[in-house]
């Protein structure tokens, strides 16, 4: 079984931009989103993925991801997404032994910037960059499926 162990943080300031790789545009929508499972279609540049994730247990959950044709992802987003579409630009920043993914949200979630870190174990140590803010891993408002339903602009 594939497992995702991810921690999520707010971003304090823009110092991360000095070390960031060029960003990639992402569009994603949720075909199903329940407490037990989410099914997402995502466009990432010229690639597309279908992702199925299980219930979040702490910072761990099952995750299965498969490449799909771009045309299929576009059709799923326009015809099957049951909530709003998430738009964001993802940047990657190396810090110590880890690579952070920073998401700058657009559209109805404009103004929100989140940093995510995937780990191989829940207790894995990592370097905290100076631009890192409060941890929000346990706050469901920051789950992308919830941001599609209840965007940041409405908070």
Domain ranges (residues) in the chain: 3-154
Question: Does domain 3-154 match CATH 3.20.20.140?
Answer: no
Rounded CA-CA distance 16/78 in Å is 33
For residues 2-22, one letter each, b for 16 or more C-beta atoms within 10 angstroms of the residue's C-beta and e for the rest, the string is eebbebbbebeeeebeeeeee
Compute the average pLDDT of residues 11-22. Answer: 96
Q: How confident is the model at residue 152 (pLDDT cuts 50, 70, 90)?
A: very high
Taking the C-alpha atoms of residue 128 and residue 94, their distance in angstroms, rounded to an integer, is 11
Q: Known catalytic residues? A: 30
pLDDT at residue 1 greater than cutoff 70: no
Q: What is the mean pLDDT of residues 11-20?
A: 96
C-alpha to C-alpha distance for 50 and 28, rounded to whole angstroms: 10
pLDDT above 90: residue 83 = no
User: What does the mean pLDDT of the chain come to?
Assistant: 96
């Amino acid at each position: 079984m594939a497992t995702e162990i991810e921690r999520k943080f707010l971003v304090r300031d823009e110092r991360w931009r000095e070390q960031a790789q060029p960003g990639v545009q992402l569009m994603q929508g949720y075909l199903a989103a329940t407490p037990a499972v989410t099914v997402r279609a995502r466009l990432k540049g010229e690639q597309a993925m279908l992702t199925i994730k299980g219930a979040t247990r702490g910072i761990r959950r099952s995750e299965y991801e498969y490449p799909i044709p771009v045309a299929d992802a576009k059709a799923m987003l326009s015809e099957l997404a049951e909530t709003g579409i998430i738009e964001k630009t993802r940047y990657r920043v190396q810090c110590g032994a880890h690579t952070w993914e920073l998401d700058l949200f657009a559209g109805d979630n404009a103004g929100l910037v989140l940093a995510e870190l995937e780990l191989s174990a829940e207790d894995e140590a990592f370097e905290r960059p100076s631009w890192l803010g409060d941890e929000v891993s346990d706050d469901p408002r920051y789950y992308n499926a919830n941001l599609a339903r209840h965007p940041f602009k409405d908070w």
